[in-house]
Structure 1
Amino acid sequence: MVRFFSSQSFLAIYSGCLTVVFAVTVLAGFARPWSGNASFDQITVRRMNVVEPDGTVRLVISDKAEFPGLYLHGKEIKRADRQDSAGMLFVNDEGTEDGGLIYGASKDAGNGPSSFSHLSFDQYDQDQTLVLGASLEDGKKASGVTVNDVGAYVITPEFIADAERVKAMPNGAERSAAWAKLNVKYPSAAERGFFGRQKDDSVRVSLRDTAGHVRAVLMVKADGEPALDFLDGAGKVTREISGNK
């Protein structure tokens, strides 16, 4: 018996049994759903998805390379124009995009520094209705808050495909005509109000009608002069009240 326990056959069987027990233990650990909490001093990731117990994505935090496309009712639709910034994507209870935060900055030789930040919140199954943004380009600074009206239609995969097709067209009359046709089928968002700093160094409040036409502007110009302008539907100033009058 002692000779058997020291034999090569016993050692091979013993080793095999240990391997099987170890494999079962590891697999059982992976199969068991994680139900505890963990604390980390630091975690480094390229992308993090926050999900509900049923797997519905609710928040994505990502670098540029892994930034997601558009989420519509639990399905992700690729978007080529979302590869230039890192940030966060908000997703509602139904798995549809509900706004987000993107940002970026760079300094190119000969062009100087540029930067942008964009925080937005969307209407249900539609586009952004509230936007907080800031930018720097060619030495010109702008920042402000924008309130939009969006279309009554629902954003669908077909709408995204149509928009991406037009975006991919070369600039010119044909592309402009395609955009005009697309806007008839899917009316674009209309800006209703804006408060912020403009690239001409003025600060202003701009109010628009339901068609997006500017109807009233309260501003302080770059030279410090205050002014209040009223405009008609064609954009013509019908009355101006200046702080110097």
Structure 2
Amino acid sequence: MSEHKKEKFTELDVEKLNIVDKSGKVKMTLFNQDNIPPLIMGGVDIAPGHRQNDPDSGIIFFNGKGEECGGLIYGSEEDEEGNYSATASLTFDQYNTDQVVQVHYSDENDDRLYGFSIYDRPNIPLSELVEKHKQIKQSQISDEIKEQQTKELLKGNAHRAFMGKNKDGDVSVQLMDSKGNERIRMVVDKNDVPRMEFLNEKGEVTYKLPPDE
């Protein structure tokens, strides 16, 4: 029987660290901005170059098949004139596909948005969606038909809810329908004035509280 050896370190500097199971399969990766893991689905990188130029560090989670299933990323950039951008995102993915829960923050020169979102995803593996979308883009059909086919392919992907603060300074809860259209909006605006609005699928307000005088 092999003897389990436990080592203790007070401090350890690494650029990338993989947490693996007994078979060596990666379960979680900690990385800096120069070592962002590829987007692995179905055992292959389905989006070569994706994220490679982003100034993000963080943690990526992997499921039992070794596929990405969420993670935490964060980063920032600032130029010589002091213009900056900063982002942070914690996501949890639906099995075989993209994120369905997200806590996110973005900030560009004091233009901020932050909050919590949930999403719908179709029951189609993300790797299959990416491949079909690639085939549509490379096909010799008109742009109009490409747009129609892409829209049909992406059916079932929708932003369903947001709770947070937007770039206008409003704190809100927004509820969307299955197509991603905003249908209910509860707001306390930047002047501390509350309101609640119901919208149709075209984005038109059909009823509000308090009602217009």
TM norm. shorter chain > 0.5: yes
1:204 aligns with 2:172: yes
Counterparts in 2 of 1:78 and 1:216: CA distance versus 1, 3 Å: closer
Higher gyration radius (CA): 1
Residue in structure 1 matched with residue 21 of structure 2 by the alignment: 52
TM-score (norm 2): 0.85
Counterparts in 2 of 1:188 and 1:64: CA distance versus 1, 3 Å: farther
Q: 1:241 aligns with which of 201, 209, 212?
A: 209
Q: CA deviation at 1:63?
A: 1.0
Number of equivalenced pairs: 207
Q: Runs of 5+ in structure 1 lacking a partner? A: 1-32, 168-172
Residue in structure 2 matched with residue 195 of structure 1 by the alignment: 163
1:115 aligns with 2:86: yes
Higher relative contact order (CA 8 A, sep 6+): 2
Residue pairs, 1:59-78, within 5 angstroms: 59-77=28-46
CA RMSD of aligned residues (A): 2.7
Q: 1:160 aligns with which of 123, 130, 140?
A: 130
1:144 aligns with 2:111: no
Q: CA deviation at 1:238?
A: 0.3
Deviations along 1:69-100, whole A, 9 cap, x unmatched?
Answer: 11224444453121211111000112111101
3-state SS of 2:96 partner: coil
More helix by share: 1
3-state SS of 2:122 partner: coil
1:131 aligns with 2:96: no
Q: Separation in 1 of the partners of 2:47 and 2:184?
A: 39
Q: Separation in 1 of the partners of 2:186 and 2:165?
A: 12
Q: Runs of 5+ in structure 2 lacking a partner? A: none
Q: Separation in 2 of the partners of 1:44 and 1:90?
A: 21
Q: Separation in 2 of the partners of 1:139 and 1:46?
A: 30
Q: CA deviation at 1:161?
A: 4.6
Counterpart AA for 2:88 = S
Moved more, 67-76 or 91-100: 67-76
Percent sequence identity over aligned pairs: 28
Residue in structure 1 matched with residue 50 of structure 2 by the alignment: 81
Moved more, 102-111 or 221-230: 102-111
Q: CA deviation at 1:38?
A: 1.1
Conservation of the 8 A alpha-carbon contact between 1:75 and 1:95: no
Q: Separation in 1 of the partners of 2:135 and 2:3?
A: 43
More strand by share: 2
Deviations along 1:21-43, whole A, 9 cap, x unmatched?
Answer: xxxxxxxxxxxx89421111111
1:101 aligns with 2:69: no
